[in-house]
Chains A and B, each alone.
Chain A
Amino acid sequence: MTELRPDLAVIAAHVTPGTRVLDVGCGDGALMAALRDRGCDARGLELDPALVERCVARGLSVVQGDADRDLADYPDKGFDTAILSQTLQTAARPDRMLDELLRVGRQAFVSFPNFAHWRMRAALTFGGRMPVTRSLPVSWYETQNIHHVTVADFRELAAAKRVRIEREWFFAGDRPIGSAGANWRAEHAVFEISA
């Protein structure tokens, strides 16, 4: 088995075993497979049919669909946990996406690349161009990320929506770091939230 991406590993480690989980933007199902190994009933939503096909071939239950539109099809509190990994920044309306996550799940995990990381700041400040870094490796014109978000922005959005941040994790590369100065030090952030 290949090793999980750090944000997925931290989510997998903190989902309660045996619970019902919806992984929104589940990709090739790596996290779902790990959750299944923990006895979870994991369901996925994924836009790319080739990735859905790989999930089905691994015996996972994944529906092809667009999270912006199709989360509405899922019943209220149908899941214990909803997961949005590296997908918030691709949402048409990230604020509404958060609402939907906490509607279909009692709690949620959200992970995203932090656009306030110092490499980003440096690239924009000194290069004057939209940054292309290891955590956001695609040029501005071909990226799926349409709402770049920072750790500070996310905290502010959560506060404005009265969404509780239960726990948070930060990573520089694959290395976990503390929350001190996370907004400029973290390349990736993971938040556990509840309504």
Chain B
Amino acid sequence: MPPATAPQTYTLPAPLPLDGGQALDGVEIAYETYGELAEDRSNAILVCHALTGDQYVASTHPLTGKPGWWERMVGPGKPVDTGRYHVICANILGGCMGSTGPASLAADGAPYAMRFPVITIRDMVRAQVALLDGLGIGRLHAVVGGSMGGMLALSMAANFPDRAARVLAIATTARHSAQNIAFHEVGRQAVMADPDWQGGDYYGSGRAPDKGLSVARMAAHITYLSEGGLTEKFGRNLQERDEKTFGFDADFQVESYLRHQGSGFTRRFDANSYLYITRAMDYLDLAEEHGGRLANAFAGTDARFCLVSFDSDWLYPTAESRHVVHALNAAGAAVSFVELSAPHGHDSFLLEHAALDRVVAGFVG
């Protein structure tokens, strides 16, 4: 049985200052909590979701009806044990599952759309810290995240070093590489090239850039997998047919799979959110925020760090994690790092992996 959940929204009491220079008024952050908060509030763990994730880490997703995205990791007796810890998972600023984002209404009563300010990973962290303030949680037992969630965890450690005692960052990076930015640009251009995007003002028009968003998701999804994983799963197998059709239907199973991923995605995600969140990730460079030296970002931290990479992850390869570990070493931080072997590429952190479970359970404590 999934753990009890309490869907809630917190309205920030003050305008949220943004890296872009603006401030955002009346920001709402939607979040879920699991497990009891200890009386001294010392057992809270913030779980940060990835690019297209949401706050439903361990409870049924209201739109898809699917289990939470990390239910295998978060729950009673699981590596992040909600029997012992109070787990908080918040929909990020710019998201589309209840937190303020481009689809939210601006002061004039119309959706922000592209009037929404461009945000950064650090802005998302500021919003999460404001939520923690609202919940009365001064210092987290741990902040945990994979992929973009790992970026949020590292950014919290760098910018709010006293807010988490443990920082677990999985399959992630402290800066987006040119290749990462390139893939995101393909996705954004796919969305913006869709005539139904309408300059971002598609809300209420009865048309949305589903085709573009679906293509963006298909391209991105390939980067989450590995060649070996795709070959193992699909090979060159044909989809429900014995021969090629010599046309452009989804002849191959892998084509059909990607189309399914793309169309499923448009039912639960807002295209403008996708633009803003990928932009935020592209802007990430923790070293740049701290005088060009990544070690400076972690100077003076007393948190314990653990970084995990996967040998088949070519989106955020092991070298990216090592780069962070190197900086943490130079800063004298207590850091652990392990590269785990997994066949499934970047997505390995979401899939069954016994060694990952042991590392997470052991590190979170």
The docked-state distance in angstroms from the alpha carbon of A60 to that of B339 is 16
How many chain A residues touch the partner (CB < 8 A)? 21
Whether A53 contacts B332 in the complex (CB less than 8 A), given A58-B362, A59-B365, comes out as no
Complex Cα gap A60–B326 (Å): 17
- Chain A residues near B237: list those with CB within 8 A: none
Q: Is the CB of A43 within 8 A of B359?
A: no
Q: How far is the CB of A153 from chain B (nearest CB, A)?
A: 31
Interface string of B343-365 (1 = CB under 8 A from A): 00000000000010011011101
Per-residue CB contact flags for chain A residues 54-75 toward chain B (1 = under 8 Å, else 0) read 0111111111110000000111
Q: Are A53 and B355 in contact (CB under 8 A)?
A: yes
Task: Pick the contact of A52: B304, B332, B336, B365 (CB < 8 A).
Answer: B336
Say whether A56 contacts B338, CB under 8 Å.
Answer: yes
| Chain B interface residue count, Cβ-Cβ cutoff 8 angstroms | 23
Q: Which residues from chain B contact A60 at a C-beta distance below 8 Å?
A: 336
A22 (CB) vs chain B CBs: closest residue: B329
Interface residues of B in 306-354 (CB under 8 A from A): 306, 322, 325-326, 329-330, 332, 334-341
Q: Which residues of A sit under 8 angstroms from B359, Cβ to Cβ?
A: 53, 56-57
Evaluate contact between A64 and B358: CB separation under 8 angstroms.
no
The number of inter-chain residue pairs (CB within 8 angstroms) is 61
Interface assignment of A78: CB less than 8 Å from any CB of chain B: yes
A49 at the binding interface (Cβ < 8 Å):
yes
Contacts of B325 in A (CB 8 A): 63, 73
Does the CB pair A78–B332 fall under 8 Å? Answer: yes
Query: Closest CB-CB distance, B337 to chain A, in whole Å?
Result: 4
Q: Check if B358 sits within 8 Å of A53, measured CB to CB.
A: yes
User: Does B329 lie within 8 Å of A63, measured CB to CB?
Assistant: yes
- Distance in angstroms between the alpha carbons of A114 and B233 in the assembled complex: 51
Q: Closest CB-CB distance, A63 to chain B, in whole Å? A: 4
A residues in contact with B362, CB < 8 Å: 53, 56-59
Which residues of the other chain, B, contact A49 by a CB distance below 8 angstroms?
338-341, 355
Give the residues in chain A near B334, CB-CB below 8 Å: 41, 43, 61
B residues within 8 A CB of A78? 329, 332
- The one of A41, A43, A57 in contact with B361, judged by C-beta atoms closer than 8 angstroms, is A57
Residue of B nearest to A58 (CB): B362
Q: Do residues A75 and B330 form an inter-chain contact, with CB atoms below 8 A? A: yes
Q: Which of A36-93 contact B (CB under 8 A)?
A: 41, 43, 49-50, 52-53, 55-65, 73-75, 78
- Given A56-B306, A58-B362, are A73 and B338 also a contact pair (CB < 8 Å)? no
How distant is A35 from chain B, measured CB to nearest CB, in Å? 13
* A60 CA / B362 CA spacing, docked (Å): 9
A window 87-107: CB within 8 A of B: none
| A63 touching B337, Cβ below 8 Å | yes
CB–CB B338/A61 < 8 A: no
Cβ of A61 and Cβ of B336 under 8 Å apart? yes
Distance, CA A57 to CA B329, complexed state (A): 20
* B363 to A, closest residue via Cβ: A56
**Interchain CB contact under 8 A, B326 and A64:** no
Report B's interface with A, CB cutoff 8 A: 304, 306, 322, 325-326, 329-330, 332, 334-341, 355, 358-359, 361-363, 365
A selection of 11 A-B contacts at a CB cut-off of 8 Å is A49-B340, A53-B358, A55-B336, A56-B363, A57-B362, A61-B304, A63-B335, A64-B337, A73-B326, A74-B329, A78-B329
A interface residues, Cβ below 8 angstroms from B: 41, 43, 49-50, 52-53, 55-65, 73-75, 78
The 6 closest A-B pairs by CB, nearest first: A57-B362, A61-B334, A52-B338, A63-B337, A73-B326, A56-B336
Give 5 new A-B contacts, CB below 8 A, not counting A56-B336, A57-B358, A63-B336. A55-B336, A58-B362, A59-B363, A63-B337, A73-B326
